[in-house]
């Protein structure tokens, strides 16, 4: 018994796990890695949050916020304006397009990069919001399926829609004729 105890003490030590310590030389401890990753993410989020903690109520801040919102509408309305101009005054439009033809190719690449980054960031934000909305709506799928099934049983064309089931009073009420005021008035009119 003493030999096995010594072997375990050699392997796992007194308070230290020799196997774990040896493996951690070659492979990261997953729990410790997750803790470090969480700390990095918390630190990054707190730094991002600190950027927006300052209230921006000055005239300059409002002006810059408004200026940052202009490129998308300006590009969209400008493109629509070019189409309208091409139809209204083709000669003026052709002259302007000849001027654009003189723009060197590297400037077109630069414009493409700027527009791609500007709209790409917005596209990423919108797609992430869309994915969150899909995940949120997927939680309602079982409820919606139950509602659709319940509504399907209420459809008049379905088999057994008028079945009273085991309700005797409902069955008897379905066999007794109702007073139909319109039918009675029509019968009295002919008489």
**Residue 156: band (very low, low, confident or very high) from pLDDT cuts 50, 70, 90:** low
pLDDT at 139: 81
The residue from 16, 39, 54 where one domain ends is: 54
Band of the pLDDT at 159, cuts 50, 70, 90? low
What three-state secondary structure class fits 156? Answer: coil
CB distance 11 to 19 below 8 Å: yes
Q: Are 135 and 129 in contact (CB under 8 A)?
A: no
pTM of the model: 0.35
Query: What pLDDT does residue 158 have?
Result: 62
Q: Whole-angstrom Cα distance, residue 106 to residue 114?
A: 12
Check pLDDT > 70 for residue 16.
no
Assess if residue 30 is contained within a domain. Answer: yes
Residue 68 lies in a domain: no
Averaged pLDDT of the chain: 81
72-122 pLDDT tens trace? 888 889 999 999 999 998 888 888 888 888 888 889 888 888 888 877 777
Q: Is residue 15 part of a domain?
A: yes
Res 169: pLDDT: 86
As a whole number of angstroms, the distance between CA 26 and CA 24 comes to 5
Percent of the chain past pLDDT 90, that is, above it, reads 7
Q: Write out pLDDT tens, residues 49-64.
A: 777 777 777 888 888 8
Distance of CA 188 to the CA centre of its chain: 64
Are 93 and 86 within 8 A, CB to CB? yes
Query: Number of folded domains in the chain?
Result: 2
- Across the range 110-136, mean pLDDT stands at 80
User: 45 is in which domain, residue-wise?
Assistant: 1-54
Residue 101 domain-assigned (yes or no):
no
Residue 111, in any domain of the structure: no
User: Which residue among 37, 54, 71 closes a domain?
Assistant: 54
The single residue listed with the structure tokens 């493109």 is 79
Does the residue 6 lie in any domain? yes
Task: Tell me the percentage of the chain whose pLDDT exceeds 70.
Answer: 90
């Amino acid at each position: 018994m003493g030999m096995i105890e010594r072997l375990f003490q050699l392997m796992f030590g007194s308070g230290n796990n020799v196997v774990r310590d040896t493996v951690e030389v070659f492979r990261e401890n997953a729990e410790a890695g997750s803790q470090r990753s969480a700390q990095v993410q918390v630190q990054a989020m707190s730094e991002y949050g600190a950027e927006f903690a300052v209230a921006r109520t000055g005239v300059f801040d409002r002006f810059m916020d408004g200026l940052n919102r202009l490129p998308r509408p300006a590009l969209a309305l400008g493109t629509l304006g070019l189409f309208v101009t091409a139809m209204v005054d083709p000669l003026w439009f052709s002259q302007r397009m000849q001027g654009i033809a003189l723009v060197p190719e590297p400037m077109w690449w630069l414009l493409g990069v700027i527009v791609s980054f500007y709209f790409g960031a917005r596209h990423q934000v919108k797609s992430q919001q869309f994915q969150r909305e899909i995940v949120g709506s997927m939680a309602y799928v079982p409820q919606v399926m139950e509602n659709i099934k319940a509504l399907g049983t209420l459809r008049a064309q379905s088999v057994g829609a008028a079945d009273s089931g085991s309700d005797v009073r409902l069955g008897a009420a379905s066999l007794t004729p109702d007073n139909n005021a319109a039918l009675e008035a029509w019968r009295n009119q002919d008489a």
